[in-house]
Amino acid sequence: TLLSTVLAFDLGASSGRALIGELIQIGDEEPKLQVKEIHRFPNQPIQIGKHLHWDILRLLHEIKTGIRIAFQEGYKPLTLGIDTWGVDFGLIDANGELVGNPYHYRDAQTEGLIEEVNGLIGKEALFKQSGLQFMPFNTIYQLYAMRKASSPKLDIAQTLLLTSDLLIYFLTGKKVCEFTMATTTQLLNLENQTWNVELMDRLGIPSRLFLEPVAPGTRIAPLSPEVYEELGVQSIEAVAVGTHDTESAIVAVPASSEPFAYLVCGTWSLLGTELAEPLLTPETMELEFSNEGGVGGTYQLLKNIMGLWILQECKREWDERGNVISFADLAKLAEEAEPLRSFIQPDDPRFYSPSGMVEKVRSYCKETNQPIPQSEGQVARCILEGLALRYRQALEQAEKLTGQSFSGLHMVGGGIQNELLCRLTAGALGRPVWAGPVEASAIGNMLMQLVSLRQCKDLAAARKLTATSFPVQSYQAESTDLWDQAYKKFIQLRPA
Ligand code: ADP
Ligand code: LRH
């Protein structure tokens, strides 16, 4: 029996996809979620003048295409949800129109602003209020940069909509602000979940822009009559899921016991654990962890690690030179390269900005007196081993902060298709890795739609449904001595 059909859009920094989810029950067996990808599209940023932007209208076009395909293929989804990367936003004017093109979080406008804002507000105070790791892309710095540049856009804007909310607005005409995404701004008081108007006033950020957050699982509205007409589709209602992709992915971690540690592995690597309350201690700030708002009243204590972005940029460079290599082939070449020859500390700030990545990896190794990786396989291996070692460091830090111990690590997201990375991670941790599902964000997105449709009770039921519906691949730790030596070397590298 088909119990429900839902449609999820998951937009990551490297690609977007539309997936259909069908909740199916055979006889009196436990229901299962069956998932099918129906549309996938690249997400390519565009430089205009001094600024880097998202191609938001193209993304809207691809979402409309996904809706059309879903109905053309005969599915009848009751609801749809959109999750996207965090922090970015569009501004809406008094006539309900988009003001300018949204900036990409890697736009250089926020350079140096962490220090400047800390100077004005105080680092400890800001951390205690927002609970967030100081990342240059946070919404607060983007808005402060616009204020400093006297951007007229800030003056005419009436409402700020974070990317997922913006796309939902384009489809339904309804403006909402979903809670998990709101916590990525650094402008929300985490403890009472209200906007930090005093902070906004001090930075010249207009507080009128911010709508009261709604909880994930809230039903928003059907598509607008214009969109129905344009797409020629039947009724479908938008739901606010855990619209921050990281939070959606965490919903789909198939953990059955507490406490558990996870790694959401894509463009970014988000490693952390789930808590009932935020951990706003000075140690959390010093070890550079975030408290992000999760679904179902949870808080996610996690570290943002530079992630597969570094490999994506190397691949882009090789591709542009005509040396086109797939991620799967890159993993094979890395597999054949010598183990633990040299490795990067992925969170060195040089790796944050786009371009010249192969050279950045090489210069990092040179400056740290390690053999310089030459071949594509050596470069890829040096990145993957650096990531695996960084995961160990972050996992140990999460244990130190929470006083918990983790028997292994759940890995989810596109990056787990790189089996070498999963194996290297198990090696570096000296603990097992349980990998799956790949499409965790889209699945978590669907699960929250099912919660809103009352087909799934709560977060625990959602995780159980994931565990019964999707396979998990286990990787066991091998050769721990070599990894222990490498880890000793790694923690001496900059930045500590
Ligand atoms: P995001 O949602 O942030 O755009 P994904 O979760 O889709 O990212 O993960 C993208 C990453 O997954 C890529 O950077 C790449 O390293 C990895 N990847 C994707 N496909 C494969 C593959 N076939 N083999 C190995 N790695 C892959
Ligand atoms: C991962 C992610 C991460 C954010 C970054 C901007 O896609 O949402 O959680 O910090 O993008």
Q: What is the interface pTM, i.e. ipTM, of the complex?
A: 0.99
The two beta strands, 79-84 and 237-240, are parallel
> Quick check: 224 and 172 in contact, CB under 8 A?
yes
Residues with CB under 6 A from ligand 1: 12-15, 266-267, 308, 311-312, 327-328, 331, 413-415, 417-418
Choose among 448, 443, 445: nearest CA to 458. 448
Ligand 2 atom nearest to 292, measured from its CA: 9
40: left (phi over 0), alpha (psi -120 to 50) or beta: beta
CA separation for the pair 125, 113 (Å, rounded): 16
Which residue has the CA at smallest separation from atom 6 of ligand 2?
86
Which letter does DSSP use for residue 326 in this model? -
Dihedral sign for Cα 198, 204, 208, 214, please.
negative
Tokens representing residue 92 in the block: 């809406």
Is the minimum distance from the CB of 394 to ligand 2 under 6 angstroms? no
Q: Which of 104, 130, 185, 268 to mutate to test the pocket of ligand 2 (most atoms within 8 A of CB)?
A: 268
Instruction: Specify the pTM.
Output: 0.98
**Which residue's CA is the closest to the ligand 1 atom numbered 26?**
418
Phi first, then psi, for residue 278 (nearest 5°) are: -65, 150
107 is catalytic: no
Bridge partners of residue 195, in order along the sequence: 188
- Pick the catalytic residue from 10, 83, 107, 245: 245
Tell which residue, 267, 222, 307, 261, has the closest CA to residue 399. 261
Ligand 2 atom 7, closest CA = 85
Query: 336 near 384, Cβ under 8 Å?
Result: no
Contact 350, 360 (CB under 8 A): yes
Which atom of ligand 1 sits closest to the CA of residue 14? 4
State the Rg of the chain over Cα: 22
Give the sign of the dihedral formed by CA 464, CA 466, CA 468, CA 472.
negative
Distance 10 CA to ligand 2 centre (A): 12
Q: Residue 35: which of 7, 16, 72 has the closest Cα?
A: 7
Helices 309-320 and 357-367 pack at an angle, to 10 degrees, of 120
- Whether the CB of 84 sits within 6 Å of ligand 2: no
CA distance 106 to 267: 13
d(CA 250, CA 243): 12
Query: For 414, which DSSP code?
Result: G
Q: How many CA atoms lie within 13 A of 197 on its CB side?
A: 7
The reply to whether ligand 2 has any atom less than 6 angstroms from the CB of 180 is no
Q: Nearest-CA neighbor of 46 among 54, 38, 37?
A: 54
- CB-side exposure of 466: number of CA atoms within 13 Å? 32
Q: What pLDDT shows up at residue 496?
A: 42
Residues of the chain with confidence (pLDDT) below 50: 496
User: Kindly report the CA angle at 351 between 118 and 487, in degrees rounded to 5?
Assistant: 95
Contact (CB, 8 A) for 143 and 154: yes
Return the best residue to mutate from 181, 244, 264, 303 for the ligand 2 pocket (most ligand atoms within 8 A of CB): 244
Q: Which amino acid is at 121?
A: I
**Is the bond preceding residue 213 a cis peptide, omega within 30 degrees?**
no
Q: What CA–CA distances, in Å, run from 9 to 81, 85, 229, 453?
A: 6, 12, 21, 17
